[in-house]
Homo-oligomer: A and B are copies of this chain.
Amino acid sequence: MTRHELTPDWLAHRAAAFPDRLAVVAGGERVSFGELDRRAGRTARQLAAAGVTAGTRVAVLLRNGLPFVILTHALARLGAVMVPLNTRLARPEIAWLVADSEAGLVICNEATGETAGALAQDLPGVQSLSLERLAGGPEADVALRDRIDLAAVQGIIYTSATTGRPKGVLLTHGNHWWNAVGSAINLGLHRDDCWLAVLPFYHVGGLAVLWRSVIYGIPVVVHEAFDPDAVNRAIDTGGVTLISVVGTMLRRMLDARALRPFPRDLRCVLLGGGPVPRSLLERCVEGGVPVATTYGLTEAASQVATLLPDEFLRKLGSAGRTLFPAEVRIDAPGGGAPAGEIGEILVRGPIVMLGYAGRPEETASALRDGWLHTGDLGSLDPEGYLYVVDRREDLIISGGENVYPTEVENVLCEHPAVADAGVIGLPDAQWGQIVAAAVRLRPGARADEEDLKAFCAERLARFKVPRRIWFVDDLPRTTGGKIVRRSILESAAWASQERA
């Protein structure tokens, strides 16, 4: 599908319409749409002087902050493609992403300059450019784009890769546009809305907030890193009405504020990052937190389905209904699955990515007949509410029976001594796979393998009870909050060696 639908540059349109309206609050600075527009223009001309042009792939190695926001709009004005990189990755991982993305330039700042410099040395044809140097550099006398082509690629966003190597997702401006529109139709849009961005901008859940800000014409409050007290303070006094978080963040926010309720102005806590533990959902119910659980993925420019706060109790555990005008169906052997049956979640609509950068085979496998095959398992209830179960590749098949690891993890986490649990399948000669669990105990709590097995046996079918349980100090999670089961498998191999 090639659409060349042109819209005026979103930021420029907003700056012309209401130059003095607040656009960004970040690191003590308050910037209006007019000022943001001017800075984006200046940065675009400086980037042009540094050789960036239409189609140039520019890696961005920056934490959240005003410079990231400005850079995002500046690159769009040049028609350049942004490749935001996870700043928390190790240097070889970053090098792999830069090479994979074919970016020739890495933008860094003081905090990331050393890494960027090393990349430039190691990778032929890659240059690093610090924001500091850019800011002091000349401005090229080039015409900037005053229109946004919805069909044009905005960025390559790498998936968090719970399995295998990360893949670069080609997202268009249109993907962001339609996701923002679908979100507004679902969550509503109030004239005084203000979105707190604390998810990293190198993840689609963070980046989407930047685009919503200029599409809706509302301010975004940017936090450089997640600090539960700072987030609570911004919500209590900063006029924040919407915030996007993952489960671990919300738990820490609730821990930090104890019983103090959120102000009424906070109308929606958008909770993504994979299945949410029951215990957290129940805390939200008790605390009257206006939670909207969402199912999203990089390949669909963030939200696919979102449960509204006022449906939260009635559909506890659901990810809600599909964002209009996208569509979701459940793929089952032999066609669409009937209501309630679990199958692969498929997504169609203008929020779906163009494909994976440089991976025609994986693109062809993910996009078939216009449907994105997400690799996630779930079901739709008769009212069209989505329940996400697990990643397809995390499904454990033991003696021919399907075991969904999240279900077992939820039961383990109900045990008073358990702080966190990760469940995987281990190869087994007799059963094909057996269920195994890595468990992190609460500080000072005690429980042994047999206690937990007995606890599970009372609550789960026999074939779902973990055959092996071992204890860990920490469980690997992505910055998006998802458990990295592949890493558990690696530590499991090590743990079973140790036992042997």
* Copies of this chain per assembly: 2
Complex CA distance for A464 and B217, rounded to whole angstroms: 42
A7 partner, pick from B3, B325, B384, beta carbons under 8 A: B325
Who on chain B is nearest to A185 by CB? B216
B189 contacts A310, CB within 8 Å?
Answer: no
The reply to whether A349 and B7 contact each other, CB–CB distance below 8 Å, is yes
Given pairs A13-B325, A185-B217, A217-B324, 5 additional interface contacts (CB within 8 A): A5-B5, A8-B327, A17-B384, A185-B216, A191-B310
Neighbouring B residues of A188 by C-beta, 8 Å: 188-191
Neighbouring B residues of A1 by C-beta, 8 Å: 4-5
Interface size class for chain A? 20 to 34
Cβ of A14: which chain B residues have Cβ within 8 Å of it? 324
Residues of the B chain whose Cβ atoms lie less than 8 Å from the Cβ of A190:
188, 190
A219 sits at the interface (CB 8 A): no
Q: CB < 8 Å: which of B189, B310, B324 contacts A185?
A: B189
Would B321 and A17 count as touching, CB distance under 8 A?
yes
Does A308 contact B17, Cβ atoms closer than 8 Å?
no
Q: Is the CB of A16 within 8 A of B181?
A: no
Kindly state whether residue A109 has any CB partner on chain B within 8 Å.
no
Cβ contact within 8 Å between B3 and A215: no
Question: Taking CB as reference atom, which chain B residue is nearest A385?
Answer: B17
Which residue of the partner chain B has the closest CB to A327?
B8
Q: Is the C-beta of A206 less than 8 angstroms from some C-beta in chain B?
A: no
Q: List 6 A-B contacts (CB under 8 A).
A: A1-B4, A3-B3, A5-B350, A13-B327, A191-B310, A217-B324
Neighbouring B residues of A189 by C-beta, 8 Å: 184-185, 188-189
Could you say which residues of chain B place their CB within 8 Å of the CB of A13? Answer: 324-325, 327
> With the chains together, A14 CA to B1 CA distance in Å?
25
Task: Give A475 Cβ to nearest chain B Cβ, in Å.
Answer: 36
- Nearest CB on B from A148, distance (A): 8
Q: A115 at the A/B interface (Cβ < 8 Å)?
A: no
Interface membership of A322, Cβ < 8 A? yes
State whether the Cβ of A10 lies closer than 8 Å to any Cβ in chain B: yes
Q: Could you tell me if A10 and B191 are in contact, using CB atoms closer than 8 angstroms?
A: no
Q: When each residue 187-217 of chain A gets 1 if its CB lies under 8 Å from chain B and 0 otherwise, what string results? A: 0111100000000000000000000000111
Other-chain contact of A325, B8, B18, B308 (Cβ < 8 Å): B8
Q: Identify the closest chain B residue to A322 (Cβ).
A: B17
Q: Which 5 A-B pairs have the closest CB atoms?
A: A7-B325, A189-B189, A188-B191, A17-B321, A188-B189
Residues on B with beta carbons closer than 8 Å to the beta carbon of A3? 3, 5
Contacts of A18 in B (CB 8 A): 321, 383
Q: How far is the CB of A272 from chain B (nearest CB, A)?
A: 20
In the complex formed, the residue of B with least CB distance to A214 is: B324
How far does the alpha carbon of A437 sit from the alpha carbon of B16 in the complex, in Å? 39
For the complex, give the distance between the alpha carbons of A219 and B174 in Å.
29
